[in-house]
Amino acid sequence: MAVHVREAHHGCMAEQIRSKRRWRRGSWRRVPEQRVLGGVAAGISARTGVDVNVVRTVFVVLAFGGGFGVACYLAAWLLIPATGEATSIGSSALSDRTGITLAAGLASLVTAVFVLLSLVGAGWIGSLAWSFVLSVIGIVLIARNAPPAEQATLRRLADPLIGFAGDTTRSRIALRATVGAALLIAGVITLLVGHTSTALLRPLAGVALVIGAVVVVLGPWWLRVGRELVAERQARARAEERADMASRVHDSVLQTLALIQRRATDPQQVIQLARAQERELRAWLFDGQAPGSVADEMTFAAGVRRIQSDVEAQHGVTVEVVTVGDCPIDEDLQALLGAAREATVNAAKWSGVQVISIFAEVEPEAVSLYVRDRGRGFDPASVPADRKGLSDSIHARMDRHGGSTEVRTAPGAGTEIRLSIPRLAVGQTAPA
């Protein structure tokens, strides 16, 4: 049996590969660069020569005709690979088990709702059902498997809906409860007043029974899907938290331990280092003040000078600082300073020279900071993966805050780390 199953599976894979090839030969490709949603219309236009706006109009018209256009569009989005991509979103969705379960769960939920609607006599709604169900499946699979840029598009579209459903401010909850209660009361009164004969309530009882049955049969499954989703999101949040924590511990505790090992012959300094680290760690664990963070009222230039004095004190090197302009520190600049501190400490530890230069410039659109040494440099490709400094404390940290990192180095040629982060339009200050 097992063998048969596997063969069947292989057959399915072969089919899938063949179909992929066919797409490629036919050169149907979505064009994400010109996309409004998924670039499907642009792709069709490129393949057929029909003007892209005509294609878009057809989709919109079909969308109003029973939702057909929406389902078609989503199917195309799912099955046609983007330009420059070898596989479609659909093929990567095949291995997304949670996604498939979720799609099936939602589809069954939607089907159940439609069955109920047709039971209470709103049969015409049933004609919308299949395109609606297909759309739901499509949206779920695309949202989970599309490249980040396309996911962002979807999220932007869904934002108002999510915002409404996820809105937990008190006034909104109260408003919703009031509206719900009013509708409920109105409904019950209409039923009792409008239909004095209880016999007319019987179909309603039937509907209630069907709802009950569906909930009993499918309810636990829906619940499990929901719970899995929550668990997944929590796991992701935990992983992010861990990464953040790891880079903080690396910046503070591990750095200090390394220093202590190096200064083992100087008890006075070891004690001093240990004390300072203890203070910092306590402040972080019990007062929630991040290590290496600067006080809120400090300006950016003052933060850079703080790095200068700290690194000079801890590592016995000279840090030359030149700053141009200044501004208050926000969360992004806090991250920039954290990365800059790490880069400076790295230069102090590894460059082998006594002078490190920092140049920081605050411009209206961006803040840039350069850490440069004329030391031995290194080969970025040969940095072991377990050395967290550059990858986690600098690159990842800058990425998380929308900044960029550039490393210019080569063995013997010194090192320059360039950090840059865009500035929000608010919080302008004069550079003087």
What does the binding site for another protein look like in residue numbers (CB under 8 A)?
318, 320, 322-325, 357, 359, 361, 370, 372, 374, 416, 430-432
Closest distance to another protein from the beta carbon of 339 (Å): 17
The residues, any chain, with a CB within 8 Å of residue 291's CB and separated by 6 or more, are: 248, 251, 252, 280, 281, 283, 284
Q: Which is nearer to another protein, 183 or 322 (CB)?
A: 322
Give dist(CA 420, CA 362) in Å, integer: 10
Do 331 and 338 touch, CB atoms closer than 8 A?
no
Closest distance to another protein from the beta carbon of 294 (Å): 19
Closest distance to another protein from the beta carbon of 84 (Å): 32
Report the run of H or E that residue 321 belongs to, with start and end: strand 318-324
Report the run of H or E that residue 358 belongs to, with start and end: strand 355-362
Q: Which is nearer to another protein, 66 or 431 (CB)?
A: 431
Closest distance to another protein from the beta carbon of 374 (Å): 8
Angle among Cα 310, 308, 298 to the nearest 5 degrees reads 85
Closest distance to another protein from the beta carbon of 431 (Å): 5
| CB neighbourhood size of 69 (10 A) | 18
Q: Which is nearer to another protein, 20 or 305 (CB)?
A: 305
Closest distance to another protein from the beta carbon of 372 (Å): 5
State residue 354 phi and psi, 5-degree precision: -95, -10
Q: Which is nearer to another protein, 62 or 355 (CB)?
A: 355
Side chain identity at residue 82, one-letter code: A
Q: Which is nearer to another protein, 269 or 420 (CB)?
A: 420
- R_g of the chain, CA atoms, integer Å: 30
Closest distance to another protein from the beta carbon of 351 (Å): 13
Contacts 24+ apart (CB under 8 A), 240-244: 243/392, 243/396
Closest distance to another protein from the beta carbon of 335 (Å): 21
| CB neighbourhood size of 431 (10 A) | 14
Say what angle helices 267-287 and 255-262 make with each other, to 10 degrees. Answer: 170
Q: Which is nearer to another protein, 294 or 319 (CB)?
A: 319
Q: Which is nearer to another protein, 70 or 369 (CB)?
A: 369
- Chain centroid, CA 408 distance in Å: 29
Angle among Cα 86, 91, 93 to the nearest 5 degrees reads 130
Give dist(CA 272, CA 314) in Å, integer: 10
SS3 8: helix
Closest distance to another protein from the beta carbon of 357 (Å): 4
- Among candidate residues 301, 302, 308, 406, the one with its CA nearest the CA of residue 360: 301
Say what angle helices 331-350 and 300-315 make with each other, to 10 degrees. Answer: 20
Closest distance to another protein from the beta carbon of 321 (Å): 9
Q: Which is nearer to another protein, 52 or 355 (CB)?
A: 355
Q: Which is nearer to another protein, 66 or 325 (CB)?
A: 325
Q: Which is nearer to another protein, 165 or 430 (CB)?
A: 430
Give dist(CA 233, CA 238) in Å, integer: 9
Q: Which is nearer to another protein, 151 or 318 (CB)?
A: 318
Give dist(CA 410, CA 407) in Å, integer: 10
Closest distance to another protein from the beta carbon of 303 (Å): 16
